[in-house]
Structure 1
Amino acid sequence: MHIAIQPLLETDIDNTDIVIQAAYGSSSRKTTLYYYLHLQPDGAFVAKKADAVVGFGGFLDYHDFAYIGMMSVAPGEQRQGIGQRLLEAILNCLEERGCPTVLLDASPSGVPLYRRYGFYDDGEALVLKKSQQVKLPGSGAEPILSATEADLPELLSFDASMFGSDRARLLKTHWAENPERTLIARDEHGQISGYLLAQANVLGPWLAQNQEIAERLLLAGLALPFQDMPQVFVAAEHRDALALLTRYGFTIQRSLQHMYKGTRIARPRTTNIFGQASLGFG
């Protein structure tokens, strides 16, 4: 049966979401799919078999590097080369855009495919989930505040300096949806020293200059309501982040292989990036 690789359309979202849920055994990812349509409409692809969606893959291009995510194939259609076709479409598009580096976090089953296409291992990424209720200590002297629109230029500059590229479109979209859940810490000079975005069921992005600031942000984030027990995506080698998360009741759910293709870039994944926005967006 012919497999067609096509751009994701809004009319595909419901069926694509069903495929992703089945492939990952997860809850709905419709919000993420709409993010792809809004932020990178030329970077999201579906695989169709007789007009039925059977696979998905997407990327966000941050200019200095791109992040591939949500690679998924319907369970009954796996091992037929569909994932390979989706990956080829994504890589061809990124090559046309002149993207120097491509990053992703691969499941163990996906690693062999990515290695065949020139990806190299570069550490691990862990998924942690809050599984225990732990009494939170009182807040410190320096308050954690929700970011206002006036804070955004400084926050975006702070993020770019640590993330390694400009992801203003993504962060502005998150902030516009829930400004009260974008938390910032400031130092004694009034400069932003860290921030945490508390999504509906994910803590991240979560960036800080040191562990003490990261802890204050985490405590403020955990005081907010969530749809489910929140998750965090972090480098396995980030000892400070893992110590904090363990202290406040998080446990490791699974491990993924962090990989890159093209020019290897140095980012503070094990020091200042305490939590990713997602496995697909970095």
Structure 2
Amino acid sequence: MLSPFLDSDIGHFLAAATSEGWICGKWEMEFLLQTFPQGCLVKRADSELQGYITSLRHDKSGWIGNLLVAPESRRGGIGTELMQGALQALLDAGVETVWLTASAKGVELYKKLGFIPVDSINRWVGEGGGGRSWSPAAPCDTEMIRHVDSAGWGDRRDALLAVTGNRGHVICGNHSFVCIQHWEQGTQLGPWGTLFEGHAAALLESALAAAGTNVFLDVPAGNLMAAALLTRKGFSIRGSNTLMYLGAKPKYSPHKVFALASMGSMG
């Protein structure tokens, strides 16, 4: 039987996630547990935590992330059980499309559950300006941000945009926006969306000026403009996962998605 993911489990999960080299924080887990608790589950054996999974409902779509099984408990079906539990919670909530990013090892598992590969997500790393030349910008139009983000993902993701924007700061351009989030490991760019590719270069210049020295972002491989801009700035790819979906085919436009909002766990 699966159990609810509790606030008291967050510390144990973060320790396990750190050992896997993941980038995630307490704020993120608290947001997930508050927003969609029925889709955040753990597998327990007596007092031992054997596995974790989180999920998040947007509007008509949802996202599954943070599937982690303790090394000593792997290859026993726990990962599949957790996946099925989170997936059922999303479907029961009326979600039509479920997203996730899969490592090379996880792709076949997710294909067996019906997930379809649609793109790759590349982790780009490079250098920013150290934040020395940044000054607070005028407030952004929240509805514009929602519209641009929805144009890329085919769904409204209001809660996710709000939580990432509130923990970082957002720079807006003409039908475009980028959020700058600070982590212990460096500065993340994302979410980053642009309706018209020609507006992306200026926004990137502003974001890098405001960012710390170490910068990273997760970018759809299908966005060739993003790859060209980042390459010109000296960024390079340090890893890649497969973007997959289950259910109704999404109105996904990768050329409008320049970076994800989270490092794989929320979309």
Which has the larger Rg? 1
Aligned: 1:115 with 2:105: no
Q: Which runs of 5+ in 1 are unaligned?
A: 187-192
Aligned pairs for 1:21-100 within 5 A: 21-22=18-19, 24-100=20-96
What is the Cα deviation at residue 147 of structure 1? 5.4
Separation in 1, partners of 2:207, 2:78: 39
How many residue pairs are counted as aligned between the two chains? Answer: 260
Q: Which residue does 2:188 correspond to in 1?
A: 202
Match of 2:231 among 246, 251, 266: 246
Distance in structure 1 (CA, Å) of the matches to 2:176 and 2:112: 38
C-alpha displacement at 1:12, in angstroms? Answer: 1.0
* 1:41-91, Cα deviation, whole Å (9 max, x unpaired): 222112222222222111111122111111111223221211111101011
What is the CA-CA distance between 1:233 and the residue it aligns to?
Answer: 1.0
Q: Which runs of 5+ in 2 are unaligned?
A: none
Inter-partner Cα distance in structure 1 for 2:229 and 2:43 = 40
Tell me, yes or no, if structure 1 residue 255 matches structure 2 residue 240: yes
Residue 18 of structure 2 aligns with an amino acid whose one-letter code is Q
- Of 144, 160, 163, which residue of structure 1 is paired with 2:153? 163
For residues 137-170 of structure 1, the C-alpha deviation after alignment (integer angstroms, 9 at most, x for no partner) is xx9xxxx97352x722332233323331111112
Amino acid at match of 1:160: S
Q: Distance in 2 between matches of 1:177 and 1:123?
A: 28
1:146 is aligned to 2:137: yes
Contact in 2 for aligned 1:133/1:249 (Cα 8 Å): no
1:93 and 1:76 map into 2 onto residues whose CA distance is 27
Distance 1:162 1:133 in 2: 25
Taking the aligned partners of 1:154 and 1:266, their CA distance within structure 2 comes to 18
Among 205, 211, 215, the alignment partner of 1:230 is 215
C-alpha change, 1:48 and 1:38, in structure 2 (3 Å) is same
SS at 1:237 equivalent: coil
TM-score by length of 2: 0.88
**Secondary structure at 2:210 match in 1:** coil
* C-alpha distance in 2 between matches for 1:220 and 1:133: 10
Question: Under a length normalisation based on structure 1, what TM-score does the superposition of the two structures give?
Answer: 0.84
